[in-house]
Structures are given as structure tokens and as C-alpha cells.
């Protein structure tokens, strides 16, 4: 036995011949080297993707900074809408309410010409159903936009003096809000609401639409056996022209 054969024999002692073979010169065969290269490449790429994912998710939840400002467009494009985090679920300010959107519309009866109104439609529920049916579909982004718009509108109402009235020295919240409060978020809520109504009335020509926003307040976990704090609150927004929109697709 020559020296080269002795080296080759020594190098494979303790290894499983079924999983790794060595040539007489002591090097791995080409097929084995290709598999090793593919394995390490996959590991590096997967590790890089893993780190990048958590970097962008964490960046989206960090306070404003020069780095966040520079990467804002890239970060938003990646995180929204599937990886958006809502840290208000946790302390110190966990969620203590849920918001829901509803709408009603006016139209002229085709036979009598009389002005009629539809029933009140829950707008939030069809969106939730569409997302539950396909969480990776386009309706996920729509539901997120509507939820954000409703929350922004409620915040704007709370900060606007026109939403309150003073009677006999006491301040009350109006039951009907002027459409001039937060018109952009109101426009989004109105168009989505019209799209839901169009699904149920595809052959009706509507003239006006009115939305309502409800708030369900519930107690903290430590007081979960007590009655709901404040129960449900509800306010309407002034009538708006019915926008030209396509019907909301049914959940699939």
C-alpha cells in the first residue's frame, strides 16, 4: 500500500460510507461538493432573509429616527399589510375598545319615484369575513385601511370642538358629526361603505349615503366580570353624495 492510499484510508475512518465517500486522492467527489455548496448557500440565504424580516418588522415599531426615515419607503412596502404589528395589545395601554363601521343609503324607487332608504348595513363584518376567507388576498389591505381610517376619524372627532355641544353649562357629544371633520378618512370610509351596499343592491341608483361609527368599550382584564364600561356608543356623520364605486367582491 503506497502513501497516498494510506492517507485516503485514514481520512475516512469513523465516517459512514453510505453518506460520504472519498476519492483515492483524499478529495470529495463532485456530486458531494455540489450538495454541500447548495446546503451552505441555502443556509446563508435563509439566515439573511430571516434577519432582514425581523429587522424591518422591528424598525417599523421603533420611534422616529434618521434610519427609520431613510428606510421608510422600503420598510412600509415590506411590512404592510401582512406583518404590521399592533403593540397596543400589550401594557401599558392595551386596547379597551373596538370600533365598527355601518352605513345607510338613499335611492328613488324605480316604480313610484318615492325616496327610500336601505336598511343599516354593517360594513366592518363583510371585510372581516373576506380577510378570514383569504388572509393573503387583497382584502387584507382594504380591511387594514378601513380600520386605520375609522380609528383616525374617531381621533379627529375627539379633538374637534365641532363634535361637541354645550347645553346648560354641560358638554355633550353630538349624535351627528359634520362631514368637514377629517374629510380624507371620511371619504375612504364612505367609498368602502358604498361598495358594500352596491353588492346587495346592484341594480339600484343611489343618491346619498350616511355612515355611522360605533364604539364598544369593555373593562380591563382585572374587571372582566363586571359589566361593560360605558357599553356601546354611536354617532352618525352627515349625509354625503353616493360615490361611483364597484361592488365589494364576495368573500371566497
Mind spelling out the 3-state secondary structure of the chain?
A: CCHHHHHHHHHCCCCCCCCCCCCCCCCCCHHHHHHHHHHHHHHHHHHHHHHHHHHHHHHHCCCCCHHHHHCHHHHHHHHCCCCCCCHHHCCCCCCCEEEEEEEEEEEECCCCCCEEECCCEECHHHHHHHHHHCCCCCHHHHHHHHHHHHHHHHHHHHHCHHHEEEECCEEEECCEECCCCCHHHHHHHHHHHHHHHHHHCCCCCEEEEEEEEEEEECCCHHHCCCCCCCCEEEEEECCEECCCCCCCCCCC
Higher pLDDT, 143 or 1: 143
Give residue-wise pLDDT tens across range 121-138.
Answer: 989 888 888 888 887 777
Stronger pLDDT, 98 or 64, i.e. the higher one: 98
- Residue 211 is predicted with a pLDDT of 94
Q: pLDDT band for 18, please (50, 70, 90 cuts).
A: very low
pTM score of the predicted model:
0.62
pLDDT tens digits, residue range 136-163? Answer: 777 888 888 888 889 889 889 888 888 8
User: Across the chain, what does the average pLDDT equal?
Assistant: 79
Amino acid at each position: 500500500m503506497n502513501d497516498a492510499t494510506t492517507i485516503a484510508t485514514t481520512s475516512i475512518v469513523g465516517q459512514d460510507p453510505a453518506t460520504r465517500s472519498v476519492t483515492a486522492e483524499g478529495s470529495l467527489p463532485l456530486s458531494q461538493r455540489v450538495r454541500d455548496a447548495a446546503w451552505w448557500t441555502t443556509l446563508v440565504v435563509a439566515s439573511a432573509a430571516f434577519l432582514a424580516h425581523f429587522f424591518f418588522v422591528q424598525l417599523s415599531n421603533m420611534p422616529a429616527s434618521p434610519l427609520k426615515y431613510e428606510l421608510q419607503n422600503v420598510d412600509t412596502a415590506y411590512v404592510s399589510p401582512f406583518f404590521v404589528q399592533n403593540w397596543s395589545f400589550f401594557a401599558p395601554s392595551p386596547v379597551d375598545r373596538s370600533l365598527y363601521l355601518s352605513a345607510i343609503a338613499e335611492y328613488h324607487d324605480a316604480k313610484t319615484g318615492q325616496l327610500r332608504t336601505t336598511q343599516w348595513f354593517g360594513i366592518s363584518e363583510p371585510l372581516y369575513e373576506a380577510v378570514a376567507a383569504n388572509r393573503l388576498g387583497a382584502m387584507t389591505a382594504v380591511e387594514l385601511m378601513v380600520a386605520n381610517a375609522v380609528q383616525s376619524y374617531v381621533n379627529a372627532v375627539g379633538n374637534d370642538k365641532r363634535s361637541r355641544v354645550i347645553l346648560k353649562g354641560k358638554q355633550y357629544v353630538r349624535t351627528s358629526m359634520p362631514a368637514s371633520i377629517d374629510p380624507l378618512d371620511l371619504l375612504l370610509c364612505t367609498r368602502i361603505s358604498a361598495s358594500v351596499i352596491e353588492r346587495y343592491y346592484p341594480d339600484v341608483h343611489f343618491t346619498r349615503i350616511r355612515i355611522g361609527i360605533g364604539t364598544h368599550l369593555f373593562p380591563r382584564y382585572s374587571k372582566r366580570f363586571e359589566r361593560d364600561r360605558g357599553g356601546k356608543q354611536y354617532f352618525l356623520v352627515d349625509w354625503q353624495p353616493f360615490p361611483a364605486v364597484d361592488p365589494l367582491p364576495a368573500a371566497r
